[in-house]
Copies of this chain bind each other. A is one copy, B any other.
Amino acid sequence: MAESKVNSGFDLHVDLAAGGSRKAALGAALRNAVRSGRLNPGTRLPSYRALAHDLGIARNTVAETYAELVSEGWLEARQGSGTRVAHRGGAGAVASRSVVPPQMRPRFDFRPGRPDASTFPRSAWLSAVRRAVDRAPSDAFGPGDPHGRIELRRALADYLARTRGVRTDARRIVVCSGFWQAATILAESGIAGPFALESHGLPFHRTIFEKSGPTLAVPVDDNGCITQSLSELDARTVVLTPSHQFPTGVSLDPKRRIAAVEWARERSGLVVEDDYDGEFRYDRLPVGAMQSLDPDCVLYVGSVSKSLSPGIRVGWMAVPERWLDPILAAKGVRESTVGVIDQLTLAEMITSGAYDRHVRAMRNKYRARRDVLAAAVRGRVPHIGTLGISAGLQAVLTLPDGSERSVLRAAGDAGIALEGLSMFRHPAAVGPVRDGIVVGFAAPSDRSYSQAVDALMSVLTARAPALRRE
């Protein structure tokens, strides 16, 4: 049986005191290891044979010592599962150890930026990982190339061209762990700053870019980022979310796309396109990646965080030619940050079509959720407006001025995790403050979704008089 084999392979570090009988020394060492808590209750011990071999003592000595410690209550011997540290071992039983308490979980989770974790395509992933590991050349398990596995870079170059209109090739794809790492590379290398950011975005992203110095804010309205105002700013790089502005959800106006590219071209600058959820569009015409306007000055960034799981740390950059060497240099010649098996598995999923199938299924699911949310708003709080509802995993419900905070407080009281527009506002943003809540409608599980929407609508209707008073 596998179980007995398991035991024979376990390693155990034992310090045997010099002098005296080996049996006494081993007994003392093991008691001490259990008493001090170094060996936890339930820990399996090596087989007699293995430990005897490692310590250079007789097998019988180990067997006798184990038997003695079992009789003393330090160890437990179970048929078929070998010898383990007892759960209530002797007088020296270890006081139970504190482990981090489970994270506080809200009843309903509408936080933006997270997909439905229950939909991870477990069997598609397992099929792909099997093929990937079976087919991988040996050198895949040697030191990783920070550029990324060629299998994945090829698959991504084709996929991004096909689905997002990105103009690139495998050589100009650089694998990274996600937008976080892409931003870190740009900020820390000093090759791309100063950075201009959209006036509303993730504070967490701003923090990364500010490692290189203060960032500038470009205003966002209902047609996206007002890129015409870039020329007034002393920036070299602008970071945009053109497909689905985060968090407002609006799509960047075509003229403004061109303005941004021209701005970058004129000053040998860079546009960073954060295409964080570009796969998810519902009823408007597909909007291709802005990168296709000028692959020489737009650096395109994407990841599987929204399409598969934020727990899978695989992302990519499609890098303009003249930025490729500086970015690879900044990434370092030595270390890949992305596990090779995740890279090869994703390549398999893309080339086999399993990734497309999953994205399509998710798109249908999220569209249905979006419809439920939109219908609920129309039916129950028709005076509240919506933004960014035609794509992505989040929508904004706009609120009368000054009411955001009280709505968030009421939602919190009802066990609903939610974020307000104001928390995404750049401190250097100018113009009027807009009130609203950002509803990440992908996060709740299918089971709880309609209940979650219902709870949110109840909060908004309960506050309807106040919301209307404006």
Residues of A participating in the B interface, judged by any CB pair closer than 8 Å: 5-15, 33, 36-40, 42-44, 47, 50, 54, 80-82, 97-103, 114, 117-118, 120, 122, 125-126, 129-130, 133-134, 136, 138-145, 147, 150, 153-154, 157-158, 161-167, 169-171, 177-178, 180, 204, 279, 286, 288, 292, 308-314, 321-326, 329, 333-342, 352-354, 356-357, 359-360, 443, 445
Q: List 10 A-B contacts (CB under 8 A).
A: A9-B324, A9-B357, A10-B162, A99-B170, A102-B333, A125-B341, A126-B129, A141-B309, A311-B339, A341-B341
* Chain B min CB distance to A432 (Å): 29
B133 in contact with A163 (CB, 8 Å) = no
What residues of B have a CB within 8 angstroms of the CB of A338 in the complex?
A: 313, 339
**Which residues of B lie under 8 Å from residue A145 when comparing CB positions?**
102-103
Q: Which of B12, B98, B133 contacts A162 (CB 8 A)?
A: B12
Q: Give A3's nearest chain B residue, CB to CB.
A: B353
Q: Given the interface contacts A100-B171, A102-B145, A162-B11, does A6 sit within 8 Å of B311 by beta carbon? A: no
CB contact between A326 and one of B10, B167, B353 (< 8 Å): that residue: B10
Known: A279-B11, A353-B44. A147 touches B311 (CB 8 A): no
**Given A80-B170, A165-B38, are A6 and B138 neighbors across the interface (CB < 8 Å)?**
no
A80 and B122 contacting across the interface, CB-CB below 8 Å: no
A178 → chain B closest CB, angstroms: 7
Min distance, Cβ A244 to any Cβ of chain B, angstroms = 15
**CA–CA, A21 and B423, complex, Å:** 47
Residues of B within 8 A of A103 (CB): 145
Residues of B with C-beta under 8 A to A163: 11-13
Measured between C-beta atoms, what is the minimum distance from A94 to chain B in Å?
Answer: 10
Residues B162 and A50 in contact, CB atoms below 8 Å apart: no
Choice from B12, B162, B321, B334 contacting A43 with Cβ under 8 Å:
B162
- Copies of this chain, count: 2
In the complex the two chains form, is A171's CB within 8 Å of B312's CB? no
The answer for the CA separation of A42 and B147 in the assembled complex, in Å, is 14
A99 near B9: Cβ-Cβ < 8 Å: no
Q: Is the CB of A97 within 8 A of B162?
A: no
CA of A50 to CA of B341, assembled, Å? 31
- Determine whether the beta carbon of A6 is less than 8 Å from that of B333: no
Do A138 and B162 form a contact, CB below 8 Å, given A335-B178, A341-B342? no
Partner of A180, one of B150, B322, B334: B334
Instruction: Indicate if the CB atoms of A325 and B10 lie closer than 8 Å.
Output: yes
Pair A313/B336 contact, Cβ less than 8 Å: yes
Q: Is the CB of A6 within 8 A of B352?
A: yes
Contacts A134-B122, A311-B336, A342-B341 given: A9-B154 contact, CB under 8 Å?
no
CB < 8 Å: which of B9, B165, B322, B443 contacts A325? Answer: B9
- Given the complex of chains A and B, what is the CA–CA distance between A83 and B85 in angstroms? 58
B120 touches A141 (CB 8 A): yes
Please give, as numbers and ranges, the residues of chain B lying within 8 Å of A97 by CB-CB distance. Answer: 169-171
Contact status B340-A309, CB under 8 Å: yes
The interface centre, meaning the residue of A9, A163, A279, A335 with most chain B CB atoms within 10 A of its CB, is: A9
Q: Is the CB of A9 within 8 A of B323?
A: yes
CB pair B38 A8 closer than 8 Å: no
Distance of A180 Cα from B337 Cα, bound (Å): 10
Task: Give the distance to chain B from A299, nearest Cβ to Cβ, in Å.
Answer: 12
**Chain B residue, CB-CB nearest to A166:** B38
Establish whether residues B125 and A133, one from each chain, have CB atoms under 8 Å apart when the complex forms: yes
- Nearest residue (CB) in B for A157 is B40
Query: Contact check: which of B14, B153, B322 meets A7 at CB < 8 Å?
Result: B322
Partner pick for A164 among B7, B13, B139, B334, CB 8 A cutoff: B13
